Structures are given as structure tokens and as C-alpha cells.
Amino acid sequence: YCICKVLVQSSPVLHVLENAVRPLGPSVPGNPTLQVPHDFSQIMGEQLPKSLYYLMLNGIISYKLPQALAKGEWMDKSQPLVDTKEFRDLVTDLADYRERALGLIARHMHA
């Protein structure tokens, strides 16, 4: 329950006037101070460079790529109904493409 509450109340949002990505806003109405849990980065991952948020907002890259870098794992919730050789081959190929994409993003994050 607590993780769900934090995700709803502190979701990362682009604040256009300040040109910044930060949590949604105060979790207590009428209280101007932003109340974000101290372990927020364990739930959401570390904050990424602004250039990645720009690419995601414009639909150039999927949110799953930076999410995998921030969390340190690839979250794939869909599972097939039938396990076949073709599907296993697809998963293997997909893992190669994901590794390349993550490598390209990671290389530019440190440049």
C-alpha cells in the first residue's frame, strides 16, 4: 500500500514553467513543502539527466530504457501463454537489442 501511495503522490512530472522534472507536488494539501520519503530513490530509481526526459516526452525512446538503467533491472510483466522454441528465440534476440539500446543510452549519459 505504501509504495502505491508514494507512486501516486510523488510521480515524476515535468514542470514546464521551471523546466524541471521532479515529484508531482505536496502530499499534504495546503502544505507548500514537498514531502517525499527518504527512500524514494529505492522505489523510483535515481533521477536521470534532463535530456533523457526530453527524449521520452517526445516519444523518441521508450520509458522502459531509462527505467532499466535507473532501477538496475529490466521489468517485463507480460508472459506468453505457451512456451515455444520460437518464443525463446525471440526473447534471446530481444535481450540482444535491449543490451545495445541500454549501451547507447548509458554511453551518452556519461559523455
State pLDDT tens for residues 47-71. Answer: 777 788 788 888 888 888 877 877 7
Q: Which residues pair with 12 in a beta bridge?
A: 23
Looking at residue 31, its pLDDT comes to 58
Average pLDDT for residues 82-111, to the nearest whole number? 83
Using H for helix, E for strand and C for coil, what is the string for 4-43?
Answer: HHHHHHCCEEEECCCCEEEECCCCCCCCCCCCCCCCHHHH
76 vs 110, residue with greater confidence: 76
Whole-model pTM: value is 0.52
83: three-class secondary structure by DSSP: coil
Looking at residue 27, its pLDDT comes to 47
Looking at residue 65, its pLDDT comes to 84
